[in-house]
Structure 1
Amino acid sequence: MNVKETARPLTVKELPAAERPRELLLAKGPAALSNAGLLAILLRTGTTKESVLRLAEQLLAKHGGLSGLGGLSPQEMSRLKGIGPAKAVTVVAAVELGKRMAALAAGERPVVRSPQDAAELMLPRLRYEKKELFIALLLSTKNHVLASPTLAVGTLSASVVDPRELFRAAINHNAASVILVHNHPSGDPTPSADDIALTRKMTEAGRLLDISVLDHLIIGDGKYVSLKEKGIL
């Protein structure tokens, strides 16, 4: 007698490589994911007919996008086929955490008004790094730090760091401006020709999108160089 295999929901691991949000988050950080990709990580599995990414897209479409999830109860979310109580509770809990973070007083977020402010914020994070990291300080209209994602790791150049990654992160966080930051593991923060070329490339791209690149800081061992203070930016 032939035993028919029971259909089961599709998991994130069974998605094509280009559609695996967990791997993308680990490789490039959460800012690189779409809203559906982030939601798919929370949902974990799809249905027997739809991948988890498609299920996430359906949930967003049904409720008018990300903002529509904010007022949903688990019961309302569970009306979509493939969203059971456990998935609905997970998403509602994540949304609530997001609301609480957004409700933090602006004064609790770091404010960057000068290259020194940015350097004091980033020196402890980068001073002892053995690899070169490229980080974006994403700022609000009042210069509060919204996020500081790492966008590249390794030897940096204008051809390696993609402006699309930087400005995708800025747009996702509704940033008004950005400060570029990277470290020199040698300890010497003197800018290289590649550093200057990268700065100019990012600045030109920012003008097209109306997102200002305020500065590019290079962090060394207990010291830094601001390309704005040097008159390069």
Structure 2
Amino acid sequence: MSIKDWHENERPREKLLERGAGALSDAELLAILLRTGTQGMSAVDMARSLLHRFNGLGGVMNAPFAELSQHRGMGLASYAQFCTVMEIGRRVLGEQLRQAPVFDSPDTVSDYLRLRLGHEPVEVSLALLLDAQNRLIACREMARGTVAENTVYIGEIAKHALQHHAAAVIFAHNHPSGNPAPSPADHTFTRKLRAGLALLDITLLDHFIVTARQTVSFARQGWLAPEAHAPCFKPQDDT
């Protein structure tokens, strides 16, 4: 039975309009994006199958085309649509960070970083460049490495900060393994970065480690020196 044959109150689109998007399950939300199913499967059935195969919405939306296209009914159009939705989400959160001081909305910072980095298969490093009011000026990708190795040059971060006349920096990188615990190298790098930026009168406000489900803040954990004046961020966890 196709979705059009369901009772009107149980159709995902009608349910969204009646109760709001928050009332929909992951499968129902995904079904609205898919719009149609395939032979023998409604859009909701296909959505459930995708969620199972890719371990949730994040996995589906970030699936490489080579993997997504192996699933029945999925092709280039679906892949392009998923990429578009993810990019819209990133840009909306980026606009929110630019419209208000970053530290007035730590949840938005964490959401933004998880959306940018949480499902990257390799380690990626970002620098958020902030003005004197801690508003976002720019976000720059600093390095992209293998799962096991990623080298970030402190001089490159400093160069970008100076080019954008940044007063402060938030550094962030992901752990593709899913384990948010910082390594000794993470601690060493943070100390060196903070000292290097301080020579330029630029503050390292925080260093985030990002996974698909959690962000860990060095400032929150007390791993930045007190004189950094970093706010205490609570790690974000969906579990």
Is the alpha carbon distance of 1:154 and 1:108 closer, same or farther for their aligned partners in structure 2, counting shifts above 3 Å? closer
1:232 is the counterpart of 2:203: no
1:119 is the counterpart of 2:110: yes
1:176 is the counterpart of 2:167: yes
- 1:72-98 deviation line (CA, Å, top 9, x unaligned): xxxxxxxxxxxxxxxxxxxxxxxxxxx
Alignment map for 1:83-162 (pairs within 5 Å):
109=99, 111-113=101-103, 115-154=106-145, 160-162=151-153
Please list every run of at least 4 consecutive aligned residues from structure 1 whose deviation after the TM superposition is greater than 3 angstroms: 105-111, 114-117, 155-159
1:212 alignment counterpart: 203
Relative contact order, higher structure (CA 8 A, sep 6+): 1
2:28 alignment counterpart: none
| Cα RMSD after superposing both structures | 2.6
1:197 is the counterpart of 2:183: no
Is the alpha carbon distance of 1:168 and 1:156 closer, same or farther for their aligned partners in structure 2, counting shifts above 3 Å? farther
SS in 2 for 1:213: strand
Would the aligned equivalents of 1:106 and 1:144 in 2 still touch at CA under 8 Å? no
Would the aligned equivalents of 1:115 and 1:217 in 2 still touch at CA under 8 Å? no
1: CA distance, partners of 2:115 / 2:165: 26
Is the alpha carbon distance of 1:199 and 1:115 closer, same or farther for their aligned partners in structure 2, counting shifts above 3 Å? farther
- TM-score computed with the length of structure 1 as normaliser: 0.51
2: CA distance, partners of 1:194 / 1:230: 16
Alignment map for 1:24-43 (pairs within 5 Å):
none
Is the alpha carbon distance of 1:173 and 1:111 closer, same or farther for their aligned partners in structure 2, counting shifts above 3 Å? same
| Identical-pair percentage | 38
Is the alpha carbon distance of 1:207 and 1:191 closer, same or farther for their aligned partners in structure 2, counting shifts above 3 Å? same
1:179 aligned partner, one-letter code: I
2: CA distance, partners of 1:131 / 1:157: 8
1:118 aligned partner, one-letter code: V
Q: Which runs of 5+ in 2 are unaligned?
A: 1-94, 225-239
1:144 aligned partner, one-letter code: R
Q: Which runs of 5+ in 1 are unaligned?
A: 1-104
- TM-score computed with the length of structure 2 as normaliser: 0.50
- 1:102-133 deviation line (CA, Å, top 9, x unaligned): xxx99853531065342122111111100101
